[in-house]
Amino acid sequence: MKILSLFSNIGVAEAYLEDAGFEVVLANELVKRRANLYSQIYPQTEMVCGDITDEEIYQTLLRKSRARGIDIILATPPCQGASRAGKQKQYDERNTLIFPVIRAIQDLKPMYAFIENVPQFLETKVKLNEYDILIPELLSQMLSKEFDVDINIVNTKNYSVPQTRERAVILVTRKDIEKKWKIPPVDPEVVSLQDVIGNLPPIDPMIRDVTEDELLEIFPHFYKRKEEALGISPWHKPPEHVKRQVVTMMHTPTGCTAFDNPKYYPIKIDGDPVSGYKSTYRRLRWVDPASTITMDNRKISSQNNVHPGRYIGLDEGGDVMYTDARALTVYELMKVMSLPDDWPVPTNTSESFFRSIIGEGIPPLFVKKVFEKLL
């Protein structure tokens, strides 16, 4: 079955589809940097870089889709307009990108379509003929004559993905197709962080505001551990943090936040205490899936980003100490996102860029499980 991928970014969602027996033959992405990287990862897929709301680009996609015989549309429009992590501005222009998706479904009449976004997407209103309408009602009004529309909210942790990530998933089936597309049943066992990164040896963070001698005084095995990590993957590189944050997290137990640690409470550069939510400066738990990975996943001070760590004993003052006082590495994020270890991202890709892309994506193992329902 042949797929048209819209808002494809660098193709996180598509990582397992070829192995599952599908062929992504055509893709569309607005941002040239992302489109170029997509083409490096998926050289067999034709990429049309440009704005789908531009009529010339849209007609190009239609023409190429018809020539290729598209069976399925995969659409993951930007979620920032609806996401709670964004500003949630009413009538955000990004929310209107559902219209070209609907138009493409109407024009191409594929057998199936897969639309994915944040759960708040289903509570978002757009303008249709000057009237407000919720996106689920919009889909029903514009597609229900020719298509069955199945709307779901799922948590990817229920599909063998080691990450708690709620998504709205809309499965569209053309009415003349006997096999209707439905979300698969949940997996019986939840995959934890221990399952996917528990076998990796500890890594010390790079402390960017100290000298090398000071770094080695704090972490005598820094370079040995770094070399071992890079031997596992070029993306398993020690994250960089400032000393005050590292020291705070060295004394913060697994699953806990430093805001509950009066002696090693997070402080600013001037020594004043940090104010923030208890979801920040927080270590993850080994026994659970990771929390939702966000675009801002390189910071200790962002939400639920810190490695679980392991107890290593007491320091000279009698305070508990834990390993891995750092954010997850890119390699660990790939494991949490269920990306394959051998996903062919060029090693010269910017780490910060790659991190943000991982924070935007939908776990590809979940996508694979949904698409396998069509086989």
pLDDT along the chain (375 residues), means of 10: 97 97 98 98 98 97 98 87 50 79 98 96 90 93 96 97 97 97 96 98 97 97 98 97 97 96 93 91 97 95 95 92 98 98 96 96 97 95
Same domain (yes/no): 165, 260: no
Q: Give me the residue label for tokens 């009529």.
A: 55
> Containing H/E element for 324?
none
179 with 252, same domain? no
Which residue's structure tokens are 């050289």? 43
Residue 352, domain member (yes or no): no
Same domain, 282 and 211: yes
Q: Label each residue of 237-261 as H, E or C.
A: CCCEECHHHHHHHHCCCCCCEHHHC
- Determine phi and psi for 37, rounding to 5 degrees: -70, -40
In a domain, residue 349? The reply is no
Residue 195 in domain: no
- 114 and 137 share a domain? yes
Alpha-carbon distance 183 to 276, whole Å?
A: 38
Does 153 share its domain with 263?
no
- Segment holding 168, helix H or strand E: strand 166-174
348 within some domain: no
Query: 55 and 78: one domain?
Result: yes
Cβ atoms 135, 122 nearer than 8 A? yes
Q: Can you state the angle between helices 98-108 and 135-143, rounded to 10 degrees?
A: 20
How many domains are contained in the chain?
Answer: 2
* Domain containing residue 118: CATH number: 3.40.50.150
Q: What's the pLDDT score for residue 130? A: 80
CA distance 326 to 18: 35
- 């069976």: which residue's tokens? 71
Question: In b/e form, how buried is each residue of 60-70, taking b as 16+ CB within 10 angstroms?
Answer: bbbebbeeeeb
| 338, part of any domain | no
| Pair 267, 244: CB distance under 8 Å | yes
3-state secondary structure of 295: coil
Phi, psi for 301 (deg, rounded to 5): -85, 0
Q: What is the pLDDT of residue 129?
A: 85
Residue 137: phi and psi, rounded to 5, are -70, -35
Is the domain of 118 the same as that of 81? yes
Identify the pLDDT of residue 80.
Answer: 53
185 and 208, same domain (yes or no): no
20 located within any domain: yes
Tokens of 221: 């095995």
Which sign, positive or negative, has the C-alpha torsion 299, 301, 307, 309? positive
Q: Check whether residue 154 and residue 212 sit in a common domain.
A: no
Q: What are the tokens at 223?
A: 């370079």
* Domain with 257 in it: 204-328
CA dihedral 239, 245, 250, 256 (to 10 degrees): -100
Do 35 and 174 belong together in one domain?
Answer: yes
Q: What is the pLDDT of residue 81?
A: 52
Angle at 106 between CA 146 and CA 100, to 5 degrees: 140
Q: Is the torsion defined by CA of 335, 338, 341, 345 positive or negative?
A: negative
Return the structure tokens found at 191: 């995959």
Q: Is 40 domain-assigned?
A: yes
DSSP annotation of 133 reads E
Which backbone phi and psi does 319 adopt, to 5 degrees? -95, 145
279: Cβ–Cβ under 8 A, 6 or more apart, which residues? 257, 291, 303, 304
pLDDT at 131: 86
- The catalytic residue positions are 79
- Asked, for residue 113, whether it belongs to a domain, the answer is yes
Clarify whether residues 136 and 245 are in a common domain: no
- Number of separate helices (H) and strands (E) present in the chain: 11, 13
Residue bearing tokens 């192995």? 19
Q: Answer yes or no: do 209 and 175 share one domain.
A: no
